[in-house]
């Protein structure tokens, strides 16, 4: 975090019995150095409360601020994890399969949020959904077992056919 590198994980890791707002309050108070005042009323830190409101508005979760995580559908939990990452103000954001396990409408919402991330923040995305990759990638690095990594620019990448993983495995077996 202090180096400006923040990562989200494929499996959500939130405090299920806390509210959406409380889940955001914790990393922001740590970043701002006010976590030692955690037991004082949150309203005493109005700048943190304002920042939480800004992040929730950006994510479309403002109406959920007082709901516990247990009450949220999975798609909103994934959005909140991105919100937590953003609350740390990273220079580089690593997203681990942000669309994994989401319904189509949640994927669209997630992609909209990712598309509106600050332009001055670098992003590294691990993603298997090639439609997601094509939407955001300016440069793609692909690797497979027993293959060396290669960089592909966005023009050549958009021309690549999308083949199922079974096709790649079959090609690898032929080479063996």
Domain at 5-136, CATH homologous superfamily: P-loop containing nucleotide triphosphate hydrolases (3.40.50.300)
Q: What is the pTM of this model?
A: 0.74
pLDDT of 36? 63
Of all residues in the chain, the percent with pLDDT exceeding 70 is: 72
pLDDT of 109? 92
In contact, 64 and 57? CB cutoff 8 Å: no
- Select from 113, 116, 119 the least CA-distant residue to 98: 113
Residue 100: band (very low, low, confident or very high) from pLDDT cuts 50, 70, 90? confident
Q: Is the pLDDT of residue 149 over 70?
A: no
- Select from 57, 47, 48, 60 the least CA-distant residue to 24: 48
Q: Looking up tokens 């309050």, which residue turns up?
A: 25
Q: Is the pLDDT of residue 77 over 90?
A: yes
The residue extents of the domains of the chain are: 5-136, 141-176
CA gap 20, 67 in Å, rounded: 6
CA gap 144, 75 in Å, rounded: 29
* CA 30 from centre of chain: 20
Q: Which residue has the higher pLDDT, 113 or 12?
A: 113
Q: Residues 6 or more apart from 59 whose CB is under 8 A from it?
A: 79, 80, 82, 83, 113
pLDDT of 130? 78
């Amino acid at each position: 975090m202090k180096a400006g590198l923040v990562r989200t994980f494929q499996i959500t890791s939130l405090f299920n019995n806390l509210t959406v707002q409380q889940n955001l309050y914790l990393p922001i108070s740590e970043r701002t150095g006010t976590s030692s005042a955690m037991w004082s009323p949150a309203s005493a830190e109005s700048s943190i409360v304002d920042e939480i409101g800004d992040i929730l508005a950006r994510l479309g979760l403002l109406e959920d601020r007082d709901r516990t995580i247990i009450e949220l559908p999975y798609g909103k939990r994934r959005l909140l994890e991105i919100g937590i990452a953003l609350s740390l103000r990273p220079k580089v954001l690593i997203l681990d399969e942000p669309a994994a396990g989401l319904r189509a409408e949640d994927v669209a919402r997630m992609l909209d949020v990712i598309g509106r991330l600050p332009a001055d923040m670098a992003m590294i995305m691990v993603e298997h959904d090639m439609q997601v990759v094509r939407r955001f990638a300016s440069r793609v690095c692909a690797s497979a077992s027993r293959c060396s990594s290669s960089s592909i620019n966005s023009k050549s990448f958009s021309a690549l056919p999308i083949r199922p993983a079974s096709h790649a495995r079959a090609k690898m077996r032929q080479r063996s």
